[in-house]
Amino acid sequence: MKIAVYPGSFDPVTNGHLDVIERAARLFDHLIIAVAQNQAKTPLFSVEERLDMLRACTRHLVNVSVDSYSSLTVEYARSKGAEVLVRGLRAVSDFENEFLMALMNRKMEPAIETVFMMTSNQYAFLSSSAVKEVASLGGQVEGLVPPVVAAALKQKFASHQQNQRLRS
């Protein structure tokens, strides 16, 4: 059984991630989407919120599960019996970081291979940070993220704005 892990921040999951997830799910027997907990960045959504959104928008994919981890990615993958790490590539700008990370991971665990999925044209510009920026300024994110994420962003920024109004 070929198990693959798709690690990332997913803060929040976008339609670009979902496209990678759906395509990777066709290539492997089981795909685990793994939310990394040990990121230096300050996330907008808690790990639980990110897991809930991922679960909601992958419910239709029978061989996909959702999990979180705080160890090294290769250690997590090994503990799950996975032989493959899936990562997405949007632009040349993604390449250098992804290349270094894949080499580092291979050095730590040669038995685990990183497989890169090219973005689909329509998602080449799409990132979680761009979506957060647009949503924070009140812009439309429909079509960029699953409906459950659009609703969560609206709620998150409405409460942010309310807190700011209370403080000022």
Under the binding rule (CB under 6 A), the answer on residue 123 touching ligand ADP is yes
DSSP single-letter state for residue 38: -
For ligand ADP, the closer CB: 104 or 158: 104
**Does residue 119 bind ligand ADP (CB under 6 A)?**
yes
Is 41 a catalytic site residue?
yes
> Applying CB under 6 A, which of residues 90, 106, 134, 136 lies at the interface with ligand ADP?
90
As a whole number of Å, the CA-based R_g of the chain is 16
Helix (H/G/I), strand (E/B), else coil: 143: coil
The least distance separating ligand ADP from the CB of residue 104, rounded to whole angstroms, comes to: 13
CA dihedral 103, 104, 106, 108 (to 10 degrees): 160
Q: What single DSSP character describes residue 52?
A: H
Amino acid at 114: T
Smallest CA-to-CA distance from 13 within 157, 153, 138 is with: 153
Binding mask 16-55 for ligand ADP (x = CB under 6 A): xx--x-----------------------------------
Which residues contribute to the site for ligand ADP (CB under 6 A)?
Answer: 8-10, 14, 16-17, 20, 87-88, 90, 94, 119, 123, 126-128
Residues catalogued as catalytic: 17, 41, 90, 128
